[in-house]
Amino acid sequence: LGLPNVGKSSFFNVLSKSDFGKAANFPYATINPEEARIPVPDPRFDWLCETYKPASRIPAHLTCIDIVGLTAGASTGAGLGNAFLADVRAVDGIFQVVRAFDDAEVIHVEGDVDPICDMEIISAELRRKDIKW
């Protein structure tokens, strides 16, 4: 999760080795969540399979979801906040993506690039919504 236009879809695409996430240079390029199952490498699992030759191999995986960006006020419905926060509610873990680079050609929804401020916005919105749940 993260603010709009910080690289969430790009990170999702690299992690999932796909191009499901719609990376674009404008806020809310991702509207509908994209989901990918990512295998988790485990040498111990591989060793067990090689040693005991099971009939099938079912490795561990991580289900990752590329979701819409969070903005200040999302907990009260600003931006696409309600849709975003509904997608986050059922997850077991969160990857937070924060932009830490300046580029005049890449829009930042808060105007200035400030990773600490961005993290505070995200944390505050999650806390506010958590209180409502």
Taking a C-beta distance cutoff of 8 angstroms, is the pair 11, 97 a contact? yes
Full pLDDT tens readout for the chain, 133 residues: 888 888 888 899 899 988 865 666 655 666 778 889 999 999 999 999 999 999 999 999 999 988 878 878 776 666 655 666 666 777 888 889 999 988 888 888 888 899 999 999 989 888 887 776 5
Element (H, E) at 66: strand 61-66
Cα Rg for the chain, rounded, in angstroms?
18
Domain ranges (residues) in the chain = 8-132
